[in-house]
């Protein structure tokens, strides 16, 4: 466990991604209870992992961001952090990380963050998710609507921008 913790922010993104992948099952409450942690280590484990997640999200790397978002989207794992009083801080960090992902290549990471926020099932994320319904990239807006439905039980599909089909001209047909 300590080897994994030390590599969550490794300089090599591949090593860091592997560490995040391998630590996930160990954060399952059942497994965590079976790991022989001394009381001090157990007390600080979740806080330390949250600090590493915060630092990792600040890298704005789409691969690591997606893996960390998927980790926190796991409701069993997130419940540990919620019970430790870290839920609101985690939600704030994901909202901040989302704002730093601005390129078209970042869509998968942005969708993973929105899904994680939905799975966290916190009303704190609702205003942010409602704002993302107006996102011009439809897949992001769709994920925001799905997350809102998960949290509130309300259908937000009517608030999405309608898909636009580009108009064609005679000149377009010559190119096609």
Angle in degrees, 0-180, between the axes of helices 75-83 and 39-57, rounded to the nearest 10 = 110
Summarised one tens digit per residue, pLDDT across range 71-88 is 999 999 999 899 889 999
CB 10 within 8 A of CB 16: yes
Is 0.75 topped by the overall pTM?
Answer: yes
pLDDT digit string (tens) for 89-147? 999 999 999 999 988 889 999 999 999 999 999 999 999 999 999 877 889 999 999 99
Across 143-155, b (16+ Cβ under 10 Å) vs e yields bbbbbbeebeeee
| Angle at which helices 87-100 and 75-83 cross, to 10° | 120
Contact between 73 and 116 under an 8 Å Cβ cutoff? The reply is yes
The contacts of residue 93 (CB under 8 Å, 6+ apart) are 53, 54, 57
pLDDT of residue 169: 57
């Amino acid at each position: 466990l300590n080897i994994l913790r030390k590599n969550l922010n490794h300089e090599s993104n591949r090593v860091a991604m592997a560490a995040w992948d391998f630590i996930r099952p160990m954060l399952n409450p059942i497994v965590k209870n079976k790991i022989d942690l001394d009381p001090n280590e157990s007390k600080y484990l979740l806080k330390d992992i949250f600090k590493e997640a915060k630092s990792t999200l600040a890298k704005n790397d789409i691969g690591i961001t997606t893996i960390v978002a998927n980790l926190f989207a796991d409701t069993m794992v997130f419940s540990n952090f919620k019970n430790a009083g870290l839920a609101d801080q985690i939600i704030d960090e994901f909202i901040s990380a989302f704002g730093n992902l601005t390129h078209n290549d970042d869509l998968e990471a942005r969708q993973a963050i929105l899904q994680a926020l939905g799975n966290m099932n916190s009303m704190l994320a609702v205003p942010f998710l409602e704002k993302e319904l107006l996102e011009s990239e439809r897949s992001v807006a769709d994920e925001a609507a799905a997350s809102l439905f998960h949290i509130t039980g309300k259908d937000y599909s009517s608030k999405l921008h309608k898909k636009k089909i580009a108009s064609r001209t005679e000149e377009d047909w010559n190119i096609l």
